[in-house]
Structure 1
């Protein structure tokens, strides 16, 4: 009983903090989630701890499905298909090249072994979908731009999961990761990893599509509002657990694919129009509340002493990741524009670079590192530092960058 009261009290405290942050953020013109991270960091400085600690499972299993499903249901089908060639090129070619480059630079500049550096790059580089979704909702980004960056962040999940688990497994079998990469992975090993990436990604998409279609058919036969709500709650969590825990494929992509099915077809001809508005409001509120708790906790995870001790490495990593992303986006998108009738404008490319935030998913991955990983505490301190600097630096400036490069956009923060 006492523990329940403590947890309820903490939830109310978080709610009170979020109200204050929301009011102040709207008055001074900063992003709400940036304000939450800053307040969480201030709470960490004061040494206050919550009874519900942030963990990898809490992020991946409890928080992530809600935010991803809600974001996927709002992606317009036309924008998704128009952007798909660009998203695939950036994910299939740009993501592995960026990770290899950051891993190589980290090996030389950060002083990590090559495998540890590659693990760090795999965790820290991929674009985080939760941060992108929330900030793009706040700044009211153009629909195609939002769909482009959000879809990229979703589809990179399969590659990241396979690379992360593969490198972790190798590190646990080596002496501090000091063995060269070439002596560990033959051509057959590389092909196996490539196949695993395809299997995990496509498997997640298939699970999500099948689950979404099944729920879609039930929604067509049932118009009762509470049944619709329960079905849309069951779908993201059910598809995530089925894919991730039972079938060993991407739970994130399963959740996103299920959301795309409901957003593209369910809201159009399976759910009564009155219920659509109700469900959208409920999911908006749920995603908002979860994001509130999540970003506040992320700010609280940062150890001030560890951040100061690794500040030079953290700043170097933030710059390295931003430069690498700029190189990938401008090179690959520019090349594909020459062959596409749906070219991505240069000003959109600027926002794609700047909105590459690295917060929630990197934090979840680094918190799940097993004890035997070399430099585990250092990696956790650096990833948490990068997460905070990324969201505070890039996130706080994103509305102004958006307004500067796309006239008429982000004139003020959304009140929704």
Structure 2
């Protein structure tokens, strides 16, 4: 069953590559559409793909996300990342909190019924505040947009995903009654999980960098070491130290790349190409599987909640981006090209992390279906509307 499903998903990926030559829409959107039609086909002919929300969530969190996070961190331009780090960190922390709160207030008063309490609105806010720029970044590179714009969008997404997952776990534990809604304890828990992940990831990244200094640095050797680094760091962080595996993987990749830059000099291009391919394959699985698990009932039953979430998310994104830009200019003295914020706002797509988080919602929460429908709805909206129109915006702004 696993082999047949893997072959089926890869076949969809190949078909999407062919279609992409004739249809000018983002590749990730093509994958979702083909995955959806595949699900209709399998249902019509009584074929059981074996894909369930539960095993999809495990596949996302433990198999696909470590690859996507490591590849994104390893591919980032380190010099530009550190240059724009204040803005990236502000967006990924303060911006995420602002976005979560604005969306939560908008949804809570918009839906306005007892079956959707404020804690449910907060959960929704955090899951749809996690950005995934995979569709937009490819377009920006094709349009030869400036590297600093790419780094701002990718860097924010990388840190944003990590903080969103940590914040989600804290809010979820409160919703399940496993912890009290106390601000002090929430800050302590967040600090422990987030900064613990930084420590674990940095240690393992540095150890891996020391290791490559004493062995033959060929591309195959580097692939094995970095794969073990990505999955090993995630597993140890999550299961042994109970800190954020995503944060750990991100910092393991960043520190490994920085500490072993001399040893990676001759193999960097080959290693980068292989990790780019792994990330591409992981995204095929993410978006085809999204198409497979989406149902039309979500949009017929929850259309009003989805529309409210889309409007609220856009308003929240505008506030978060411009607050971050203003704050960094005032405090740190870090100016940003005035043409960049509109691209950062409209290019803030939702993807893998949003999908993983909504699928991890326990079904004992009475409002889990509403949040899942909103999550899938906003992911599809950003892919269909925002991803397809971002190139037009880039050209309009003459970037």
TM-score of the superposition, structure 2-length normalised?
0.90
Give the Å deviation of 1:342.
3.8
1:309 is displaced (CA, Å) by 1.8
Partner of 2:22, secondary structure, is helix
1:211 aligns with 2:204: yes
Given that 2:306 and 2:374 are in contact with CA atoms closer than 8 Å, whether structure 1 keeps it comes out as yes
Check if 1:51 corresponds to 2:50: yes
Deviations 1:334-358 (A, max 9, x none): 3422454541112111111011112
Partner residue of 1:165 out of 169, 187, 190 = 169
How do 1:337-376 residues align onto structure 2 when only pairs under 5 Å count?
Answer: 337-376=329-368
SS in 2 for 1:303: coil
Deviates more, 1:235-244 or 1:192-201: 192-201
Instruction: State the alpha-carbon separation in 1 of the partners of residues 143 and 153 from structure 2.
Output: 14
Counterpart pick for 1:252 among 242, 246, 249 = 246
Aligned to 1:397: 389
Q: CA deviation at 1:367?
A: 1.0
From 255, 258, 265, give the equivalent of 1:261.
255
Contact kept, 8 Å, 1:154 with 1:252, in 2: the verdict is no
Report Cα offsets for 1:73-124 as digits up to 9, x if no partner: 1111211111111122223322212212211121110222111111111222
CA gap of 1:312–1:393, structure 2 versus 1, over 3 A, is: same
SS where residue 270 of structure 1 aligns? helix
Q: How does 1:16-165 map to 2 (within 5 A)?
A: 16-48=11-43, 50-53=49-52, 55-111=56-112, 112-128=116-132, 141-165=145-169
What do residues 194-230 of structure 1 show as CA deviations (whole Å, max 9, x unaligned)? 1222222211111111111111111111125232221
- State whether residues 102 and 321 of structure 1, in contact with CA within 8 Å, keep that contact through their aligned partners in structure 2: yes
Closer, same or farther: CA 338–399 of 1 in aligned 2, 3 Å: same
Looking at structure 2, the residues matched to 162 and 82 of structure 1 have their Cα atoms a distance apart, in angstroms, of 25
Q: Displacement, 1:133?
A: 5.7
Unaligned runs of 5+ in 2: none
Q: CA deviation at 1:151?
A: 2.1
Aligned partners of 1:73, 1:159: CA distance in 2, in Å? 19
1:15 alignment counterpart: 10
8 Å CA contact 1:123, 1:160 repeated in 2? yes
Unaligned runs of 5+ in 1: 175-183, 408-416
Q: Shift of residue 327 of structure 1?
A: 1.6
Q: How has the CA–CA distance of structure 1 residues 65 and 190 changed in structure 2, closer, same or farther, with 3 Å as cutoff?
A: same
SS at match of 1:252: helix
SS where residue 27 of structure 1 aligns? Answer: coil
Stretch of structure 1 that moved more, 226-235 or 125-134: 125-134
Q: For the Cα contact (< 8 Å) 2:217–2:263, is it kept in 1?
A: no
Shift of 1:272: 5.4
Partner SS state of residue 126, structure 1 = coil
SS in 2 for 1:37: helix
- The two structures, once aligned, show a CA RMSD in angstroms of 2.3
* Partner SS for 1:156: helix
CA distance in 2, matches of 1:307, 1:47: 21
Q: Distance between the aligned counterparts of 1:64 and 1:139, measured in 2?
A: 27
CA contact (8 A) 2:61 2:356 kept: yes
2:72 and 2:166 mapped to 1: Cα distance?
Answer: 24
